[in-house]
Amino acid sequence: MKIILVGSGGREHALAWAISDSPLCDELIVTPGNPGTKAYGRRADIAAEDIDGLVHLAQTEQADIVVIGPEVPLVEGLADRLEAVGIRAFGPTAAAARLEGSKRFARDFCKRHHIPQPQWDYFSTAEPAREFAASLSGGAVVKADGLAAGKGVTVCDNAEQAATSIEEMLAGRFGAASAQILVEERISGPEFSAFALLDGEEAVWLASAQDHKRAYDGDEGPNTGGMGAVSPSRFETDDLREQIMQDIIRPVAKGMAAEGNPYRGILYAGLMLTDKGPQVIEFNCRFGDPEAQVILPRMKSDLLSAIYTVTEGGLKNFDMRWDDDSAVTIVMAAKGYPGSYEKGSRIYGADQLESASGCLVFHAGTSQNADGQIIANGGRVLCVTALGATRQQARMKAYAGVGEITWDDEFYRSDIAAE
């Protein structure tokens, strides 16, 4: 099969690595890709947001399947556009991707299908939003309804803080994405990311993971796209997995199908394990980045066969196998990220997928200069993944891998998977 993979991050490097390993993969094109994905096939230079360009590329290349990595093209309907021209897409339609693209849709959907979630309400004016926030005990969370690159959420300790962010958001802090907002009860407990594969009817469990979203050690500093991750989560048990499948994942698959929006692709449920059981914080309609970099190395089944099965239906009979090992990934970022940072330093030690210490080095924000040398060119630059019989072993090995890579402005957290 000829596959096009859309995206350019560490997640897409991990996807390219896993897809190209499949006996079903005859040719892989990654667009726009990064220097790390070059080893697995051609790069095309169509951006992940250029829907027309991607449809055109898929048609000219006569692709069999287009695998869509990031959320923006999914929310904007790339899967629908491809299906309209007879090309299989891996990833939900725009209607189904509203589970990520509209927080209000996700909350209303959970309500309709009795999926456990915090109390919430939806507002487009400040006064009733402030009143609702003040009525919640234990603080409130204010969220932009639309996509805000992972930044549209403010967790508030009290009603005054909530009032300030309500006003800022409605005044257009995230443009159209925050013209409408949600105010939620602030729940507490460990966070748990659950990943499942859905084929429009059935759902199968993939893996759990925990990411580390804050920039600095000890969960200090600004929120980022993720500074590291571990899979499985230390909270995963057989019982918890079954509870999440029964109360959350299967109801999503059934509910979306019943509403005429069958969900096909990865479902990433961001949950909080409260004393009343797991509750939904958010849904994402794709793999996480950097969660894919710890989930895919643990997958023993053929990823492309699983993807094909999702586009075909019949996932129920797919034999999904996993490595019992733990995986840890450390994000090596540019000093200053998620704020402003320097680009252009030469990176030493990241030329091979497998490092001397046996880690997998996935590229994210890198480029290559005219001499073919690897250059830092983004906020999150590289992800170094290691597998180990225990979380601790995986962690030690991943940090040994990080130690083999250097550039002038590197920075990373030293406490990923430490607890």
Sites of contact with ligand GLY (CB under 6 A): 211, 225-226, 284, 288-289, 291
For residue 284, the partner it binds in ligand AMP, ligand GLY, none, with Cβ less than 5 to 8 A by kind, is: ligand GLY
| # binding residues, ligand AMP (CB under 6 A) | 13
In the complex, minimum distance from the CB of residue 320 to ligand AMP, in angstroms, rounded to a whole number: 26
Please name the residue that has the structure tokens 């499942």. Answer: 196
Tokens of 419: 């607890």
Q: What are phi and psi of 100, to 5 degrees?
A: -100, -40
Contacts of residue 116, defined as CB under 8 A and 6 or more positions apart, other chains included, come to 110, 247, 248, 276, 277, 278, 279, 280
Beta strands per DSSP E along 140-226: 140-144, 153-156, 181-185, 191-199, 203-211, 214-216, 220-223
Report how far apart, in Å, the C-alpha atoms of 37 and of each of 13, 32, 43, 64, 248 are: 5, 9, 8, 19, 34
* Contact by Cβ (8 Å): 89, 66: yes
Cis amide bond preceding 190, omega within 30:
no
Of 71, 100, 184, 199, which one interacts with ligand AMP (CB under 6 A)?
184
Q: Which is nearer to ligand GLY, 107 or 380 (CB)?
A: 380
Please choose, from the candidates 379, 380, 390, 388, the residue with its C-alpha nearest in 3D space to the C-alpha of residue 359: 388
In the complex, minimum distance from the CB of residue 396 to ligand AMP, in angstroms, rounded to a whole number: 27
In the complex, minimum distance from the CB of residue 117 to ligand AMP, in angstroms, rounded to a whole number: 8
For residue 118, the partner it binds in ligand GLY, ligand AMP, none, with Cβ less than 5 to 8 A by kind, is: ligand AMP
For residue 153, the partner it binds in ligand GLY, ligand AMP, none, with Cβ less than 5 to 8 A by kind, is: ligand AMP
In the complex, minimum distance from the CB of residue 326 to ligand GLY, in angstroms, rounded to a whole number: 18
How far is Cα of residue 385 from the mean position of the Cα atoms in its chain?
A: 16
Q: Which is nearer to ligand GLY, 100 or 185 (CB)?
A: 100
Burial of 14 per CB tally in 10 Å (0-12, 13-18, 19+): buried
Binding mask 136-175 for ligand AMP (x = CB under 6 A): -----x--------x--x-x--------------------
Binding mask 106-125 for ligand AMP (x = CB under 6 A): ------------x-------
Pairing of strands 140-144, 42-43: unpaired
For residue 288, the partner it binds in ligand GLY, ligand AMP, none, with Cβ less than 5 to 8 A by kind, is: ligand GLY
In the complex, minimum distance from the CB of residue 27 to ligand GLY, in angstroms, rounded to a whole number: 28
Q: Which is nearer to ligand GLY, 155 or 159 (CB)?
A: 155
Pairing of strands 65-68, 2-7: parallel
Q: Which is nearer to ligand GLY, 64 or 289 (CB)?
A: 289
Residues engaged in binding ligand AMP (CB under 6 A): 118, 141, 150, 153, 155, 184-187, 191, 270, 281-282
